[in-house]
Amino acid sequence: LLIQNDTLLANGIQNDVCAIVLTYDPVVATTSDSSNCMFVELQNNCDREHNRVLELEAHVLETQKMLSNSNSQCTILEKHYYDLQLKVQRYKENLKNQRVLDNSNAMALNAIFGITLLKDQLRERDETVRNLQSEINISKM
């Protein structure tokens, strides 16, 4: 409560000082050179601070513009990131499907090679049987 009172008093004093500076009548001050110098100094300080406020406001606007652009770029990058994640997921699924097909193809190829090997073995046996029959026929003669 005391801190709030101190803050309120400080704000009230600041408002009073600003009101005095803004309502100061330069016509009255012309009677005294020291008062006139003080007024000119206060006016210069006020102008300088006003210019500084304008510069800071321009800087704030520029920073807000940069922030807005950054947010836009961030949104674009997030969308691109999610698109890439979906693409990678699809590639993984396609790779799994391809492996399943490759395995079934491999089994079919193994069966074909097995059949071919058995056929070759049968041909060799047939040839051996023919050769033996030829020898038997020759020996009978």
Summarised one tens digit per residue, pLDDT across range 5-23 is: 677 777 777 777 776 766 6
Tokens 């020996």 map to which residue?
139
Contact 45, 58 (CB under 8 A): no
In one-letter notation, the amino acid at residue 103 is: N
Q: Which residues contact 36 (CB under 8 A, 6 or more apart)?
A: 26, 29, 30
User: Is residue 98 over pLDDT 80?
Assistant: no
Residue 83 confidence (pLDDT): 92
Angstrom distance (rounded) from CA 45 to CA 132: 125
Mean pLDDT of all residues belonging to the chain: 79
Counting Cα atoms < 13 Å in the Cβ hemisphere of 60 gives: 6
How many domains is the chain built from? 1
Structure pTM?
0.39
- Looking at the chain, the whole-number percentage of residues with pLDDT higher than 90 is 8
Domain residue limits at 94: 2-140
